[in-house]
């Protein structure tokens, strides 16, 4: 058995998320197509997360377990090149390495970092149309960052969980949460040990409401304690969201 760990970057605009779907184009399906072309056989792959339609990834981790009597002997560097030669222009393998047979990209994950990008200028930017949320009013960065920092620590995030989530335990730990300016973009960065369904997009919506003066940053702990979704901000669109990095044992959580 050979287990290959791959780090993938993709622009999620043209895909209905990571997960294979019967009647929609997914990141996983397109990746498996390229893998089959490279190795001559269709292998099952395991992903670190289920990104939604339109969500992007800077560092999505997946694994390919190659069973059978003669698993592919192709070196990782050659496999990376073969995959990148076959993948579409909106997807790329950043790293490819052999991993222990028991490695699982989802269950071994210790933390994830997400980004939410906002273009806060009066005029839309056509080059960022599907890569960042357009807000016509400039963000109050001080209020936005103050709101983001209220989420630090261990909380029950029921107030930030969309309907449809099946997880019973909604307690998560947020290690880092801040808003900063990157060039002309306002970027929310949040790192935690796990995230609920649409949690980051709701968190970003809550921070945005605080920036606009519609929520008091100091009141966010009360919103979390209430465990009431109606008190938090809106669920922002998926195209501003990026899975930025996945952390594993031994990694410094940033």
Torsions phi, psi of 72, nearest 5? Answer: -55, 135
- Residue of 33, 44, 52, 98 marked active site: 52
Paired with 66 in beta bridges are 2
Q: What is the DSSP string of 28-97?
A: HHHHHHHHHHHHSS---EEES--PPTT-EEEEEEEEEEE-SSS-----HHHHHHHHHHHS-TTEEEEEEE
Residue 52 annotated among the catalytic residues of the structure:
yes
Alpha carbons 105 and 115: distance in angstroms, whole number: 20
Q: Are 203 and 215 in contact (CB under 8 A)?
A: no
- The CA distances from residue 92 to 58, 95, 173, 188, in Å, are 10, 9, 31, 24
Do the strands 153-156 and 56-66 form a parallel or antiparallel pair, or are they unpaired? unpaired
Element (H, E) at 143: helix 141-149
CB-CB contact of 87 with 15 (8 Å): no
The Cα–Cα gap between 47 and 226 comes to: 33
Residues tagged active-site: 52
């Amino acid at each position: 058995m050979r287990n290959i760990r791959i780090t993938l970057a993709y622009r999620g605009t043209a895909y209905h998320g990571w997960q294979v779907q019967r009647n929609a184009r997914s990141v996983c399906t397109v990746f498996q197509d390229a893998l089959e072309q490279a190795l001559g056989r269709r292998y099952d792959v395991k992903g670190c997360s289920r990104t939604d339609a339109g969500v992007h990834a800077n560092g999505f981790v997946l694994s390919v377990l190659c069973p059978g009597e003669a698993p592919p002997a192709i070196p990782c560097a050659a496999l990376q090149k073969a995959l990148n030669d076959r993948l579409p222009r909106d997807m790329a393998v950043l790293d490819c390495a052999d991993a222990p047979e028991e490695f699982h990209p989802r269950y071994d994950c210790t933390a994830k970092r997400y980004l939410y990008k906002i273009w806060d200028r009066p005029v839309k930017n056509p080059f960022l149309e599907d890569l960042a949320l357009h807000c016509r009013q400039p963000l109050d960065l001080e209020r936005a960052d103050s709101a983001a920092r209220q989420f630090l620590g261990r909380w029950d995030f029921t107030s930030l969980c969309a309907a449809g989530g099946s997880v019973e335990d909604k307690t998560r730990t947020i290690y880092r949460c801040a808003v900063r300016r990157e060039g002309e973009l306002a970027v929310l960065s949040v790192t935690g040990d796990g995230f609920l369904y649409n949690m980051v997009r709701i968190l970003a919506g809550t921070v945005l409401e605080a920036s606009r003066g519609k929520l008091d940053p100091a009141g966010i702990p009360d919103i979390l304690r209430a465990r009431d979704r109606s008190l938090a901000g809106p669920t922002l669109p998926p195209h501003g969201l990026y899975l930025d990095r996945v952390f594993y044992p031994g990694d410094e959580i940033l």
